Structure 1
Amino acid sequence: MNQMLRVPREETSLRERATQTLRKAILDGHFAPGQKLSERELCEDLDVSRSCVREALQHLQAEGLITIIPHRGPEVTTISAQEVRDIYEVRANLESLAGRNFANNASPEQIQALRAKLTELAEPDVAEDRSTMLTVKNQFYDILIEGCGNLVAGQMLQQLNNRVTVLRRISMSQPGRFANTLKELDAIVTAIENRDGDTAARLCAEHVQKAVDNVLRSMQA
């Protein structure tokens, strides 16, 4: 074995934990868009070295969650209205494809799992906790991606997921949005249960369009 290629396991684990912790803090809204981040303070809060923090920030920059500005340092990425439209346009096409393929290709067990996750999402204790609600909704989409049978579409949706999660937090702040979301997802799952790929695809696209409309309204407000 080439010793030069060996990665210290403890150091790798620290970098991964630092990245995961920072990612979760951003997705949970602990850090706001545009907020500047101090490497020194992050080192103290995470109890890791500056090199670990820098590598975590670089990783999150690649995910679009962090922007590193020359001579100013890192800050939480602010997404413009045009970027929101671009992200959701891509998401609408990918989710439409995923919905159609899931309806046509998913196993009965996967369809049951999708319905069960939607039922969980509708539970009062989940709906009342924003962080839990976003986690369960992400799990709903994980099932959809896994059962759609298109690895490329699934990978692209997962790459978008972190930025979409930030925007979902904004969208869900609109009064009545969560109740409407449950109705929209229920219609999608019903179409999938009926193996109606065309309807599932159309409803997925409509759901994403309503989500982007809510995000843009919240940003304007």
Structure 2
Amino acid sequence: MRTPVVGLLRAAIVGAEFAPGERLVERALCDRFEVSRTVVREALRQPESEGPVDMVPHRGPVVATLSAEDAAALHEVREVLEALAGRSFAERATSAQRTTLKRRLKAVESALADGGLPGILAAKDAYYDALSDGAGNPVVRATLLGIHARTSLLRGVTLQSPGRGADTLRELQAITTAATARNPDATWAAREAHVRSAAGVAMGVAMDLLRSAADKAGTA
């Protein structure tokens, strides 16, 4: 039971159903997911270790608040690592892995057309997984997974920003074209541009979320 609840909880946080700094009340989560308190406590451990949930003394679990400075630092590191993974894919990926990447891109396109945030995030994660598989660098893969987990709230809200879906698709198409053509430099540039574009939107989102959290704290 724990694994499905972890996924549901993560999706709710990414979908901005909980605000940064908001307490995750165990009883309410039990009612929401129709599970026991033990299951909820177990489920909270994974997002706490990943970053989206903080355990605050005397308050319990709360949705993590990511400062603008932290968001900028994470995207700076993500830009280099994703560009490196893209270049490595272009250099190392097998024919089967290139075919998988093209298929995953079509899945992203379908998910964006459907418009459901959980489906879009799942399709994008699968696309990134395909790039990581072809890159063949487990250290880069693990580090990127941690960064994606820490910026999960921003990723969800950013994708809902006007025009971001269309921009995302164009950027992933450019990455796929370069990567499957075995062009390392073009793949590096395309993936670097994708992260910079996302970071530009995410920084505005981060500031909005921080202001919203401050406003709520001031009226509490």
Aligned to 2:107: 120
Superposed displacement of residue 93, structure 1 = 1.4
**TM-score, length-scaled by structure 1:** 0.85
- Give the distance between the partners of 2:116 and 2:6, measured in 1 at CA: 24
Contact 1:105/1:147, CA 8 A, preserved across alignment: yes
- Give the distance between the partners of 2:152 and 2:103, measured in 1 at CA: 21
- Give the distance between the partners of 2:164 and 2:12, measured in 1 at CA: 24
- % of aligned pairs identical? 38
Aligned to 1:11: none
Aligned to 2:63: 76
Q: State the SS of the aligned residue for 2:151.
A: helix
Contact 1:102/1:144, CA 8 A, preserved across alignment: yes
Superposed displacement of residue 159, structure 1 = 2.3
- Give the distance between the partners of 1:126 and 1:135, measured in 2 at CA: 14
Aligned to 1:162: 149
Aligned counterpart in structure 2 of residue 206 of structure 1, from 184, 189, 193: 193
Structure 1 letter corresponding to 2:191: C
- Give the distance between the partners of 1:177 and 1:17, measured in 2 at CA: 29
Q: What pairs up with 1:47-66 in 2 under 5 angstroms? A: 47-66=34-53
Whether 2:24 is the aligned partner of 1:40: answer no
Q: What pairs up with 1:95-106 in 2 under 5 angstroms? A: 95-106=82-93
Number of matched residues?
Answer: 208
Greater Rg, structure 1 or structure 2? 1
Aligned counterpart in structure 2 of residue 216 of structure 1, from 203, 214, 218: 203
Aligned to 2:212: none
Question: What value does the CA root-mean-square deviation take over the aligned residues?
Answer: 2.0
Structure 1 unmatched runs, 5+: 1-13
Contact 2:50/2:146, CA 8 A, preserved across alignment: yes
Aligned to 1:88: 75
Q: Report 1 or 2 for greater relative contact order, CA contacts < 8 Å, sequence distance ≥ 6.
A: 2
- Give the distance between the partners of 1:199 and 1:63, measured in 2 at CA: 32
Q: State the SS of the aligned residue for 2:44.
A: helix
Instruction: Give CA deviations for 1:12-69 in whole Å, capped at 9, x if unaligned.
Output: xx33343333223222333232221112222333344433322322322111011111
**TM-score, length-scaled by structure 2:** 0.85
Whether 2:165 is the aligned partner of 1:191: answer no
Q: Structure 1's 132 and 48: CA in aligned 2 closer, same or farther, altered over 3 A?
A: closer
Q: Structure 1's 214 and 57: CA in aligned 2 closer, same or farther, altered over 3 A?
A: same
Whether 2:124 is the aligned partner of 1:137: answer yes
Structure 2 letter corresponding to 1:171: T
